[in-house]
């Protein structure tokens, strides 16, 4: 939520404003279904072109679903306004063994509603 100016934020704002939330989900589902059909057809017919088109459509579907998820997470539950949350303070970071827990605090810029988001990440060790 604190990724001001990120590619996902820009893409999400653009697509939601141009298409609307329901059309975005419909398009993502359409690309998913068409991509699966094209990939299966390409695999069955041993057609590299159809397989690549199918995989491309599946990738587009994944991006569209990601954009929709980004939009939903940044929509205020109280006032219903989109892209409403701003980071309120620094995140708390706690490391317990191989896991890092990051707690971020956000506040709606329109109604003041507060939200807490907890993310868990596994630490990956480098192999030298």
- The pLDDT assigned to 2 comes to 46
DSSP code for 126: P
Q: What is the mean pLDDT of residues 94-101?
A: 86
- The pLDDT assigned to 1 comes to 47
- Whole-model pTM: value is 0.71
CB 64 within 8 A of CB 26: no
Lowest model confidence (mean pLDDT) among 1-10, 77-86, 98-107: 1-10
- The pLDDT assigned to 16 comes to 87
Res 84 pLDDT > 50: yes
Which of 64, 62, 57 shows the shortest CA–CA distance to 14? 64
- Please tell me the number of Cα atoms within 13 Å of 21 on its side-chain side: 10
Q: Which two tokens stand for residue 59?
A: 């990738």
CB 34 within 8 A of CB 26: no
Q: Is 90 exposed, middle or buried (0-12, 13-18, 19+ CB in 10 A)?
A: exposed
Res 96 pLDDT > 90: no
């Amino acid at each position: 939520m604190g990724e001001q100016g990120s590619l996902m934020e820009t893409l999400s704002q653009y697509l939601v404003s141009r298409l609307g939330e329901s059309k975005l989900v419909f398009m993502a589902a359409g690309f998913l279904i068409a991509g699966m059909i094209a990939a299966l057809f390409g695999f069955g017919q041993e057609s590299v072109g159809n397989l690549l088109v199918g995989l491309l459509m599946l990738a587009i579907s994944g991006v569209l679903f990601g954009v929709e998820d980004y939009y939903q997470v940044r929509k205020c539950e109280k006032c219903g306004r989109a892209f409403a949350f701003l980071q309120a303070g620094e995140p708390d970071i706690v490391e317990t063994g191989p896991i890092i827990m990051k707690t971020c605090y956000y506040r709606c810029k329109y109604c003041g509603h507060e939200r807490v988001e907890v993310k868990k990440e596994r630490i990956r060790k480098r192999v030298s």
